[in-house]
Amino acid sequence: NCIFFYSFQSKTREAFVTLATTESYCKGATVVGKSLRRHGTTRETVVMVTPNISEATRTSLWRAFDRVVLVDALDSGDGVRLALLGRPELGVTFTKIHCWTLTEYSKGVFLDADTLVLCNVDELFDREELSAAPDPGWPDCFNSGVFVFRPSLETHGRLVEHALRQGSFDGGDQGLLNSFFSRWSVENIDRHLPFVYNLSSSSLYSYRPAFTRFGHDAKIVHFLGSVKPWNQSRGGSGSDFLSLWWDEYQREAGRSQEPAAAAAVEA
Ligand code: UDP
Ligand code: MN
């Protein structure tokens, strides 16, 4: 009985996973971890970081996450290493798909470091791989800022192979994942997450009536694009989501981070 219970438990370990390869993206990752916890997730929280991230930053991430996992974009074998030498733009993409190697979990929900969780979203674990919300710029593609996946070394290997053979049509992980999970838009509506799980902050401007009607249901906000919240001042654009991001960033940061350390983080 106990053994059965134990194996049942261990097989159902699930985690939210994010990624930060620069000190600035670590600011965003901190907000992801804090917002997940504050809304009472029952799942583990994991941040993947690359070796260039400072010891001090890793320590502050460790306060916001259950685990800080060190990953190396070039650790997938010599073939990958060699191929990447000529394709440096795929580096961050490879680091993101590293989440498939976290096989201690039976399921994961990846969140970009530029997302903000507004309520408990544990129900995402009821979904199967690959579930994601439509991209606002091209809705037949999913946006890869929020997705449900099933860790598997086999899938990881196939993703690496796919990337090396076909590259990525947009140079990033979203192009790669969309060409790999190419049936997403037509196959199974259960794999389509409602847009409120990956609400781009720009939707406010691109379809304001829909935003007015549905925006209050927002569950995860995604600050996609080149201007990230940590590069904007709180009052700058007057966006409510931006102030919510800063609220979350500053909620405990003042106490748990030395001001000097925070100031030393790259802009
Ligand atoms: N990322 C990173 N370092 C980088 C660029 C991206 O760690 O230099 C990670 C981070 O988790 C980020 C995700 O990859 O959220 C995707 O990049 P980004 O959010 O900038 O793309 P966008 O959502 O704007 O298309
Ligand atoms: Mn993003």
Out of 25, 27, 173, mutate this one to test ligand 1's pocket (max ligand atoms within 8 Å of CB): namely 25
Out of 23, 68, 114, 144, mutate this one to test ligand 1's pocket (max ligand atoms within 8 Å of CB): namely 114
Starting from the edge strand earliest in sequence, which strands make up the sheet with 199-200, in order?
A: 115-117, 220-222, 199-200
- How far, in Å, are 103, 141, 165, 169, 175 from residue 179 at the CA level? 23, 9, 12, 8, 6
The model's pLDDT over 64-99, given as tens digits with 9 standing for 90+, comes to 999 999 997 554 454 565 566 566 666 677 789 999
Q: In the prediction, which pLDDT does 72 show?
A: 76
Q: Are 48 and 98 in contact (CB under 8 A)?
A: yes
The model's pLDDT over 6-48, given as tens digits with 9 standing for 90+, comes to 555 556 899 999 999 999 999 999 999 999 999 999 999 999 9
Q: In the prediction, which pLDDT does 226 show?
A: 87
Closest residue by CA, ligand 1 atom 17:
112
Q: Is 167 left (phi over 0), alpha (psi -120 to 50) or beta?
A: left
Find the 2 Cα to ligand 1 centroid distance in Å.
Answer: 43
The model's pLDDT over 118-172, given as tens digits with 9 standing for 90+, comes to 999 999 999 999 999 999 999 999 999 999 999 999 999 999 889 888 888 888 8
Residue length of the chain: 267
